[in-house]
Amino acid sequence: MADRLRTGIDALDRKLEGGLPRGTLVAYTAEPASQSERLLYELTAARDVHYLSTERSVRAVRSALEAAPVTVDEPRVEALPTDGLEEATRTVADLREETLLIVDTADRLERTDPDDYVAFLNDLKETLLETDSVAVLHCLRGAEPRNRTRTLHAADAVFELHTDRVGGRLETVLTVPTFRYGGQPTEAITLELSDGVAIDTSRDIA
């Protein structure tokens, strides 16, 4: 569908009826050691990207994107300062048309004042709708910030990545517990994160 942004993962796009509708706010949760950034890099392929990093330097993010097995069209990469919520708000206000905004990770922003953070989420959603853009907030599980529930409640779609050891090998599974556009995908997708993101063809996941 022309009004949807493909994720680059065919099985997921089929379940989302073509991809993510423009204007969608996504909360993407994962364990810190799960290589969850690989899915973020897959999303950046051949589209206008603004990458906000709250923990890694601009050089580190650019290096990782250059090493990713996808083609990225000169992404804008920005490292947020310690008081990142104010800077993130300015970035959102200047978001260009049809942009993929990635916040990696959202944890620092989620530790700010609850009222200020809710205002940021509302401003972000309005801007996404106005610019036909999509935003992905990368949220690490574990010692979760106090505003994590607010992120999950505001999100139009929630992606959950889980990695477990099964029979001597690592198994990575993606689920979509929240999707506010049409039917909610009910089946998990098993992924391979070795080189980029691919479907694990050893299982029937279609």
DSSP structural state of residue 110: G
Sign of the Cα torsion 7, 20, 79, 36 reads negative
Work out the pLDDT band at 204, boundaries 50, 70, 90.
very low
* Residue 206 falls inside a structural domain: no
132 within a domain of the structure (yes/no): yes
Give the distance from CA 180 to its chain's centroid.
16
- Tens of pLDDT, residue by residue over 90-118, are 999 999 999 999 999 999 999 999 999 99
In this structure, are residues 65 and 72 in contact, taking their beta carbons and an 8 Å threshold? yes
Q: How many domains does the chain have?
A: 1
C-alpha 6/C-alpha 43 separation (Å) is 8
Distance of CA 32 to the CA centre of its chain: 14
The SS3 of residue 158 is: strand
Q: Look at residue 205 and tell me if it is in a domain.
A: no
Q: What is the CATH number of the domain that holds 110?
A: 3.40.50.300
What predicted TM-score, i.e. pTM, was given to this entire model?
Answer: 0.88
pLDDT tens per residue, range 129-169: 999 999 999 999 988 899 999 999 999 999 999 887 766 67
